[in-house]
Amino acid sequence: MRSSLLFLSMAATLATVTACGGSSTTVTAPEIVTAPVQRTIIMVWDGLRPDAVNAVDTPNLYALRQAGVHFVDNHSTYPTFTMMNGSSFATGSFPKTSGFYGNTFWTPPQAGAAQPIPAGKNAGGGNQDYNAPVFTEDYAVLSTLNDYYGGQLLLVKSLFKTAQDAGLKTATIGKSGAAFIQDLGRGGIFLDENTVLPASLVTDLQAANFALPKNTPYAYAAGAVTLAASNGDPTARAGALTFALPNGLQAKDVTDTTQGNPEDAANKYMMKVYTDFILPKKLPDLSLIWFRTPDNTQHAYGPGSANYRKALASQDARLGELQAALKANKMDANTNIIVVSDHAHSNVSGPTSLYPLRAITASTSVTNGVTNAVLGNRDAINGFSVSGDVRTADLLTYAGFRAFDGNGCSTSAMYGIKADGSNVQPVGVDTTGALCGTANAKYQAISATLPTPVASFKVPATMPAKGIVVAANGGSDYLYIPDHDAATVAAAVRFLQSREEYGAIFVDSRYGAIAGTLPMSMINLENATRSGKGQPDIVVSFNWDAQQLVNGLPGIEFESTGGNRGMHGSFSPIDVHNTLIASGPAFKTGTVISNPTGNVDVAPTVAYLLGQSMPQADGRVLNEALVKPASSASAVVKAAVVNPTAPATGLTFKVPTDLTGATVDAALSNGSYSINLMVKDLTVDGKTYRYFDYAQPVRN
């Protein structure tokens, strides 16, 4: 057993208090004792809903939960995106402290700066465009951004740096971007879907006859890393299977039962490198293993689908392999395993009253990724969604704003089929290429019907006055108003409030109180260092319904156009309430914790397990779960609802089935919009920690 960590023994410090009230203190020199490091492994199951854990689909995780600690009220950091929560795991903090805004965010050009916008390659070796919002699930993009921000992409010290500074060995494995942000400083071992760090690990793995991720050479100087002829593409993953809708677009085939987990082989490969080489040979004290499962399958087929269950089984098998390796190496007794998801997951759909669920005749064959499933009639009970996609830049542009998202001409099978069978958004063809830049490109954009048609929403190099850049992110969108024009902000808020696709709206407090909104500071999203340099001006959740069943599971939401069947990122209670389970020598056994907890609490808790601390973190040590807590004080929890100072009034509400905004919702005639933000405040040891349960728009 490895023994390296130094603890100060409190038992060696003696204090005496005299009876007459004066005090004299006798302090002996601290006795330095060595305690064994408890190896800790954080395993992130991307997008795992708590209700996915059961004895049939996830037997290993279910057993781990029964044996250890089950946190039943855990909270993802809002916006409930992957990289947002990646930064919370990295720093134990919210953006107000970390300064990070994932997944997709924009770096507004800094006029007069030596480098107005970032520049660099992506993991595949291509040039990354930073004129438009950038997707941060990429180690090379994160490295470019970290350089651009002077090594301060994360403004506070991370858990991994904390461990490394204490002389502990670390390893991060898995999903592109999400794994890398844990160790931006490259102080430990790193293997993701694209590359391997440091160079010595490349040498070690090749010497041990392991294949490397296909893009590994791009992380090194030209010619420095050469893949073996037999290397192949060990982290390849399959695309989703689709079927044709009557309008000619391809929808993801939710009825498919054949594909299973598209990244099954990639995850097996990465786990094998970890269990067969990194764990036994490099002996990491702290590891984070983050696989994109079941998230990727949920995006494709929706939570509850047959392939979702296969993805759960795949991920559970990886946990089983990890546990077996710990046992084989006699490490199981002194290793803590924390299984956590970054966020939960919802099915993508608009309200079924507007967009009835529809039968899909199950596929029986697949040809080149396309199945022979057939869209059928309305089926409220067993039907599937063909709605839920929203393009904010398009709706804003049609409404008279100058909005851009950088996503080009696009189509989506999920724009919605109305009750009468007609499509919300017809498919256009740009025969000349004038709209899309490519002749005969297909597009769907209501703004293409304007006198000056718009369909691609390319971000101009020089923004027009009052322009808006939308970073489309799935269950929530970021809006940037680079000239910070207050009237544009106010008008954009009124627009979002008036359209029923949108949920709760949060605005930078620099604009003062805006009726029917909450300040971004209220939910820890304001960061002075990033103001005008990456922090959005408006954050808006898409609307959601936590009760509606699709695929037998509750929870639907609108999403930024992506054609997905599953999404997250919203402020719904379904997306927010994610999975947290912990087991091992540091944790109590067979314990259910009902106190609110959050993803921000994971890093400070793990730091404590490693004999370290993260005083800069927003989260807390989850003492109530520990055998040897730092404090045994009991917590007081109070729930509350937070509302805007005043509701917005005088609105007319526009139904989602009419993108022009001409159709007003006659059921909501008061014209009032507000927000119910549900919170829980946990007070312990003199400090209060706020957890956000959900934020619901209230229109009437």
User: By C-beta, is 86 or 133 nearer to Zn ion?
Assistant: 86
Nearer to Zn ion, 47 or 573 (CB): 47
Q: Which residue is nearest to Zn ion (CB)?
A: 82
Q: Is the CB of 47 or the CB of 217 nearer to Zn ion?
A: 47
Report the SS3 class of residue 12. Answer: helix
C-beta of 102: minimal distance to Zn ion in Å?
10
Told to check if 575 binds Zn ion by CB under 5 A, we report: no
3-state secondary structure of 222: coil
Nearer to Zn ion, 77 or 216 (CB): 77
Cis (ω within 30 of 0) for the bond into 294? Answer: yes
Other CB atoms closer than 10 Å to residue 381's CB: what's the count?
Answer: 7
Considering Cα of 119, then 197, then 529, then 519, what sign does the dihedral take? positive
HSE on the CB side for 188, CA within 13 Å? 33
Using CA atoms, how far apart are residues 401 and 117, in angstroms rounded to an integer? Answer: 24
Nearer to Zn ion among residue 269 and residue 290 (C-beta): 290
Shortest approach of Zn ion to residue 413 CB, angstroms?
22
Output the smallest distance, CB 94 to Zn ion, in A.
17
Number of neighbours of residue 11 by Cβ within 10 angstroms: 8
Q: CA angle, 62 as apex, 61 and 64 as ends, to 5°? A: 60
What is the x/- site pattern for Zn ion, positions 45-64, by CB under 5 A? Answer: -xx-----------------
Question: Binding of Zn ion at residue 82 (CB under 5 A)?
Answer: yes
Alpha helices, DSSP H, located in 329-429: 392-398
Nearer to Zn ion, 77 or 387 (CB): 77
Closer to Zn ion by CB, 425 or 570: give it.
Answer: 570
| Cross-strand bridge partners of residue 127 | 121
Please give the structure tokens belonging to residue 489.
Answer: 């902000």
Q: Which is nearer to Zn ion, 295 or 545 (CB)?
A: 295
Question: Least Å distance between CB 85 and Zn ion?
Answer: 7
Q: How far is the CB of 295 from Zn ion (least distance, A)?
A: 5
Residues in the interface with Zn ion (CB under 5 A) total: 5
Q: How far is the CB of 203 from Zn ion (least distance, A)?
A: 32
Which range, of 50-58, 82-90, 350-358, 491-499, touches Zn ion by CB under 5 A?
Answer: 82-90
Stretch that binds Zn ion, among 217-225, 280-288, 295-303, 315-323 (CB under 5 A): 295-303
DSSP structure string for 422-455: -BSSPPEEESSSTTTSSTTEEE--GGGGSSS---
CA atoms within 13 A on the CB side of 298: 27
Which part of the chain contacts Zn ion (CB under 5 A), choosing from 120-128, 288-296, 559-567, 666-674?
A: 288-296
Q: Smallest distance from the beta carbon of 568 to Zn ion, in angstroms?
A: 7
Part of the chain binding Zn ion (CB under 5 A), chosen from 132-140, 237-245, 293-301, 592-600? 293-301
Instruction: Output 285 or 342, the one with its CB closest to Zn ion.
Output: 342
Q: Which one, 82 or 498, has the nearer CB to Zn ion?
A: 82
Q: What is the C-alpha separation between 602 and 44, in angstroms, rounded?
A: 11
Q: Which residue has the tokens 């999903």?
A: 175
Interface region with Zn ion, contact rule CB under 5 A, candidates 44-52, 198-206, 250-258, 496-504: 44-52
Which residues, numbered 327-356, are part of the site for Zn ion (CB under 5 A)? Answer: 342
**Binding segment for Zn ion among 49-57, 75-83, 97-105, 502-510 (CB under 5 A)?**
75-83
3-class SS string, 280-332: HHHCCCEEEEEECCCHHHHHHHCCCCHHHHHHHHHHHHHHHHHHHHHHHCCCH
- Contacts to Zn ion from residues 161-220, by CB under 5 A: none
The contact pattern for Zn ion, residues 401-440, with x = CB under 5 A and - = no contact, is ----------------------------------------
Residue closer to Zn ion (CB basis): 295 or 477:
295
CB of 408 to Zn ion, least distance (A): 24
CB of 42 to Zn ion, least distance (A): 14
DSSP designation for 279 = I
Q: What six digits make up the tokens of 227?
A: 């893949």
* By CB under 5 A, residue 137 contacts Zn ion: no
Cβ proximity to Zn ion: between 430 and 575 the closer is 575
Q: Which stretch binds Zn ion (CB under 5 A): 41-49, 111-119, 232-240, 409-417?
A: 41-49
Q: What is the Cα–Cα distance from 262 to 344, expressed in whole angstroms?
A: 19
Query: Would you say 30 and 13 are in contact if contact means Cβ atoms under 8 Å apart?
Result: yes
Residue 181 beta carbon to Zn ion: minimum distance, rounded to whole angstroms: 12
How far CA 53 is from CA of 133, 175, 354, 597, in Å, comes to 35, 21, 32, 18
Query: How many whole angstroms separate alpha carbon 37 and alpha carbon 4?
Result: 7
Q: Is the dihedral of CA 94, 98, 104, 106 positive or negative?
A: positive
Q: Show the tokens assigned to 46.
A: 């991307």
Q: Is residue 295 part of the contact set for Zn ion (CB under 5 A)?
A: yes
The dihedral over CA atoms of 170, 174, 178, 184, expressed in degrees to the nearest 10, equals 40
Q: Which residues bind Zn ion (CB under 5 A)?
A: 46-47, 82, 295, 342
